[in-house]
Amino acid sequence: MAEYMAQGKQPEVLFWVGCAGSFDDRAKKITKAFVKLLHKANIDFAVLGTEESCTGDPAKRAGNEFLFQMQAMANIEVLNGYGIKKIVTACPHCFNTIGNEYPELGGTYEIMHHTQFLKSLLDEGKLKVEGGKFKGKKITFHDPCYLGRANGEYEAPRNLLEKLEVELVEMKRNKKHGMCCGAGGAQMFKEPEAGDKDVNVERTEQAMETSAKIIATGCPFCMVMMTDGVKAKNAEENVQVMDVAEMIANAEDL
């Protein structure tokens, strides 16, 4: 972004990568896949790079409002400093926090989840996909809580999957009633409380009941949780977990 600024230009959209997308090995692949798609569609975008910092979502959901607001205000200062208007992110938590909780703190932007953004690119004809290697494959979609229930977006990712001509099989609990992968509320960063089972294993079992070959999702944290769930069930051979953006990029062999 700093480079854009130096040239006195404004990008069409800012890609907010997020902590997972920047540091988590698995999530970085999603980041790269999404960037490939952005390039392919000739989107003029920028990232904040080292100026980006955690949105504060995990701090807020853990109850640390102080830390959250410090993060939020620091980020807002950077974003407003660059005059950013439109943001796209591949993380539903960043999407929710920036979209819902930043405005009151002085940061109002048009924000899109990457599945929404990709859908708009397809609708505008800037990007084309065909079934490719996923055509007819049995695929189930796991709704990330902070995209689905929290913000009511169930259709954009499903639309993309439709474009890939997959056979979409829904889990019993989907959309509004979708079950959490177990990562939210800062659970990602702590051991679960004592119980009979881990949430991600339960959710993975629900996904495997559909006998889908791929569990598609749209959140780096769901990705980690579901991947671990598949490992816990020793099913890596049969079931893959993929982000919708990766699937599109893969279908195109990008």
Partner 1 sequence: MQYLPNILFSIALAAGIGYFTLNIRKIIRNIKLGQEVNASDNKGQRWSNMVRIALGQSKMVVRPIPGLLHIFVYVGFVIINIEVLEIIIDGIFGTHRVLSTILPEGLYNFLIGSFEILALLVLVGVILFWTRRNIQKLKRFWNPEMKGWPKNDGNFILYFEMVLMVLFLTMNAADQSLQSLGAAHYVEAGSFPISKFIVPLIDGFSEGTLFAIERGAWWLHILGILIFLNYLYFSKHLHILLAFPNVYFGKVTPKGKFKNLESVTNEVKMMMDPNVDPFAAPAEGTQEAPSKFGASDVMDLSRIQLLNAYTCTECGRCTSECPANITGKKLSPRKIMMDTRDRLEEIGKNIDKNGEFKPDGKQLLDDYITREELWACTTCNACVEACPVSIDPLSIIMDMRQYLVMEQSAAPTELNVAMTNIENNGAPWPYNQMDRLNWKNEN
Give the binding site for partner 1 (CB under 8 A). Answer: 17, 19, 21-24, 28, 31-32, 47, 49-50, 52-54, 56, 58-67, 69-71, 73-74, 77, 96, 100-101, 104-105, 145-146, 149-152, 173, 176-177, 179-180, 182-199, 201-203
Q: How far is the CB of 164 from partner 1 (least distance, A)?
A: 25
Measured from the CB atom, the residue of 164 and 182 that comes closer to partner 1 is 182
User: In terms of CB distance, is 36 or 231 closer to partner 1?
Assistant: 36
**Smallest separation (angstroms) from partner 1 to the CB of 21:** 8
Of 143 and 164, CB closest to partner 1: 143
For the bound state, the minimum distance from the C-beta of residue 131 to partner 1, rounded and expressed in Å, comes to 27
Instruction: Identify which of residues 1 and 161 has a Cβ nearer to partner 1 in the complex.
Output: 1
Which CB, 101 or 252, lies closer to partner 1? 101
Compute the least distance from the CB of residue 220 to partner 1, in Å: 12
Q: Rounded to the nearest whole angstrom, what is the least distance from the CB of residue 120 to partner 1 in the complex?
A: 20
Alpha-carbon dihedral of residues 216, 179, 183, 219, nearest 10 degrees?
A: 30
Report the amino acid identity of residue 4: Y
